[in-house]
Structure 1
Amino acid sequence: MTIPTSTRAAVLTAHGDDLTVQELPLPASVEPGAALVRIHCTTLCGTDIEIWSGKMTFPGMLPMVLGHEMVGEIVAVGAGTRDALGRDLAVGDRIGWSESTCGECFGCTVLREPVACSRRGYGFLQRSDVPPYATAGLADFAYVTPGAAKLLLPAEVKDTWASMAGCAAKTVLRAFQRAGGVRPGSRVVVQGSGALGIFATAVAHLSGAGTVVTVGAPAERLAAARRFGADEVVDIARGSEATVQRVLELTDGQGADLVLDLAGAPSVGPEAIAMAGQRGTFVVVGSTGPTGDPVSLSTIMGKELTIVGSLNGDIGDYYRAIEFFRAFADRLPWDELFSEPVGLTQASAKVAMMSALGEIKAVIDPRIG
């Protein structure tokens, strides 16, 4: 095909407003280490919704193209472009990609932790009015920068699964790794019944937890959590005190060995501390919003709890998320997480629908129209 010089993209110009479909320029040439990709699938993430609403913002970020969970086919590739495992990439290859890292800062060189890169770059944080313009998922084409960690995708992992692996799934798997994994037969509580919470429920179940309790709302999401491995569910509509009490009842009064925050509501901290059992672990994953409610330090001390923070994930977590879907493809109804795909012109409606908890994982396929 002829290499395009511009692309349609759904652009966010003001928080809370409809996305506008605009024509954005593409780089005139593809530099070494980079690729130009035709987007096949973008799955919307909770972060997209928080940015759209303005819950997550910073000066100068708009206008921008949303979408950081995406899969596409290479239509042009720069010299020497390889994926994270050193495999040469060529036109026609199906790839996903993770955020770029600089390889030079303290986080990259001393900590050797890509998540700690001080110049870590997400495609969806690229302004759409300056080069390279279109690096995110809600577009016909995306420019994948040289520093972005690219991954050649196995054919048996579906587009939707591979897209979700790019953020939601890798974030959850990193959280479990940071927690030290799941001890077989243990009690696990998942706070949150969105895409991350339901996926975390599945991971806990497949990892051999004895009891998995998913805490969240609405009822339809909790029903989905049951289909993905929750032994019990607790509706947060009952209020914090009743929610904690119910979790304690479901864990024989002992509390949970592992509690994971995938919700981010202000109340999750004190609830998690109260739900956790003696020498339990609480992993904070979803609290990206405002400051949470105060927690009891004396309770943390008295229970000898371990509190762990976990931020997103890196290319290693992304690879493991792809392998997770490949290994457990037939174990759970993964396709239930995703809505029917729509075209780019309907992306704005899907953002609003996800914001209203109408869908778990909206899917945009720009090829639809």
Structure 2
Amino acid sequence: MDIPSSTRAAVLTAHGSALELIDLPLPVRPEPGAALVRILCTTLCGTDIEIWSGKMSFPGMLPMVLGHEMVGEIVAVGDDARDALGRDLTVGDRIGWSESTCGACHGCAVLREPVACSHRGYGFLQRSDAPPYATAGLSEYAYVVPHAAKLLLPESVPDTWAAMAGCAAKTVLRAFSRVGGVRPGSRVVVQGSGALGLFATAVAHLSGAGKVITVGAPSTRLALAREFGADATVDIAEGSEATVAQVRELTGGHGADLVLDFAGAPSVGREAVEMAAQRGRVVIVGSTGPGSEALALGTVMGKELSIVGSLNGDIADYHDAIEFFTSFPERMPWDRLFGPRVGLAEASARITAMSRHEEIKAVIDPRLT
């Protein structure tokens, strides 16, 4: 096919406003190591909603194209373009990709930790009024920059699953890895019943937890959590004290051996510490805002808790997420996480629906009119 010179994209120009459909220029040809892809599927993430609403914001970020969970088909490729496993990339390949890293900063060279890269670049952090313009998911075509970590995708993994693996699924798997995984027969509490919380519920169940308790709202999400392996659920509508009391009752008064925060509400950290068992482990993943309540440090000390932070994930976690879906395709109703495919013109409506908790993960297919 002819290489397109421009792409239609849904651009966020002001927080809280409808996205604008705008034509953006594309590079004449990909640089060495880069690729131009036709977007096949983009799944919206909670971060997209936080950026849209303005909860997550920084000076000079707008205008931008949202979407960082996506799958694309290569339509043009630069010289020496390979995926993270060294496999050559060619026109027609279906790929996913993670953020770009510089490979030379303290995080990359000393810590050898891609998520700590000082110049870590997500597609949605690229302004849409400056080159290379379109690098994110809510566009017909996207430019995958040379240092983005690319991954050839197996045919057995559907577009929606592969897109979700690019952020939500890899974030969850990294959190479990950071804390040493699930001990067989242990009691696990998942705080949050959004996409991350539901996926984490499934991971905990499939990993051999003795009891999985999902804490969240609304009731429809908690009912779905049971389909994803929750043995019990707790509705946060009854308040913080009642939430902790119910978890302790469900764990025989001991508390949870592992608590994972995928909710990010201000009270989550305090509740996690209170509902954790003696020498329990707590992983903080969803608390992205500055408004969290203070932790009871005396309780942390007295229980000898281990508290670990976990930030997103890198290409290794992305690879693991794809392998996870490959290993457990029939074990959970994964498709229940996704809404119907809609085109770019419907992206604003789907973002609003997600912000109102009416949809778990919206699916945008830019090929649809």
Which category describes the TM-score, using the shorter chain as reference length? over 0.9
1:163-217 residue CA offsets vs partner (Å, 9 max, x unmatched): 0000000000000000100000000000000000000000000000000000000
Matched residues, percent identical?
76
Aligned partners of 1:270, 1:23: CA distance in 2, in Å? 47
Superposition RMSD in Å: 0.4
Query: Are residue 247 (structure 1) and residue 247 (structure 2) matched?
Result: yes
Task: Please give the residue correspondences for 1:222-237 in structure 2 after superposition, counting only pairs within 5 Å.
Answer: 222-237=222-237
AA paired with 1:220?
T
- For 1:145, the equivalent position in structure 2 comes to 145
Aligned partners of 2:179, 2:352: CA distance in 1, in Å? 33
User: Which moved further from structure 2: 108-117 or 290-299?
Assistant: 290-299
Aligned partners of 1:182, 1:40: CA distance in 2, in Å? 34
Aligned length: 369
Q: Give the alignment's TM-score, normalised by structure 1.
A: 1.00
Determine helix, strand or coil for the equivalent of 1:362. strand
Aligned partners of 2:332, 2:243: CA distance in 1, in Å? 27
AA paired with 2:86?
G
Task: Please give the residue correspondences for 1:292-307 in structure 2 after superposition, counting only pairs within 5 Å.
Answer: 292-307=292-307
Aligned partners of 2:138, 2:290: CA distance in 1, in Å? 27
Per the TM alignment, residue 290 of structure 1 is displaced from its structure 2 partner at its CA by: 2.6
- For 1:24, the equivalent position in structure 2 comes to 24
AA paired with 2:109?
T
Aligned partners of 2:8, 2:289: CA distance in 1, in Å? 31
- For 1:126, the equivalent position in structure 2 comes to 126
Determine helix, strand or coil for the equivalent of 2:226. helix
Determine helix, strand or coil for the equivalent of 1:318. helix
- For 1:135, the equivalent position in structure 2 comes to 135
Aligned partners of 2:295, 2:73: CA distance in 1, in Å? 47
Per the TM alignment, residue 29 of structure 1 is displaced from its structure 2 partner at its CA by: 1.6
Task: Please give the residue correspondences for 1:200-215 in structure 2 after superposition, counting only pairs within 5 Å.
Answer: 200-215=200-215
- For 2:325, the equivalent position in structure 1 comes to 325
1:306-327 residue CA offsets vs partner (Å, 9 max, x unmatched): 0000000000000000000000
Aligned partners of 1:326, 1:114: CA distance in 2, in Å? 24
Aligned partners of 2:315, 2:338: CA distance in 1, in Å? 23
Determine helix, strand or coil for the equivalent of 2:313. coil
Per the TM alignment, residue 28 of structure 1 is displaced from its structure 2 partner at its CA by: 1.5
Q: Which runs of 5+ in 2 are unaligned?
A: none
Determine helix, strand or coil for the equivalent of 1:95. strand
AA paired with 1:354?
M
User: Which moved further from structure 2: 282-291 or 184-193?
Assistant: 282-291
User: Which moved further from structure 2: 288-297 or 250-259?
Assistant: 288-297
Aligned partners of 2:195, 2:290: CA distance in 1, in Å? 21
Q: Which runs of 5+ in 1 are unaligned?
A: none
Task: Please give the residue correspondences for 1:1-369 in structure 2 after superposition, counting only pairs within 5 Å.
Answer: 1-369=1-369
Per the TM alignment, residue 243 of structure 1 is displaced from its structure 2 partner at its CA by: 0.5
Determine helix, strand or coil for the equivalent of 1:366. coil
Aligned partners of 1:338, 1:61: CA distance in 2, in Å? 28
Aligned partners of 1:125, 1:223: CA distance in 2, in Å? 35
Aligned partners of 1:29, 1:200: CA distance in 2, in Å? 40
Q: Give every structure 1 segment of 4 or more consecutive aligned residues whose post-TM-superposition deviation is greater than 4 Å.
A: none
Q: Give the alignment's TM-score, normalised by structure 2.
A: 1.00
AA paired with 1:43?
T
Determine helix, strand or coil for the equivalent of 1:244. helix
Per the TM alignment, residue 291 of structure 1 is displaced from its structure 2 partner at its CA by: 2.4
Aligned partners of 2:308, 2:298: CA distance in 1, in Å? 17
Aligned partners of 1:69, 1:290: CA distance in 2, in Å? 25
AA paired with 1:169?
A
1:143-171 residue CA offsets vs partner (Å, 9 max, x unmatched): 00000000000000000000000000000
Aligned partners of 2:218, 2:338: CA distance in 1, in Å? 17
Aligned partners of 2:45, 2:215: CA distance in 1, in Å? 20
AA paired with 1:258?
L
Aligned partners of 1:260, 1:331: CA distance in 2, in Å? 22
AA paired with 2:277?
G
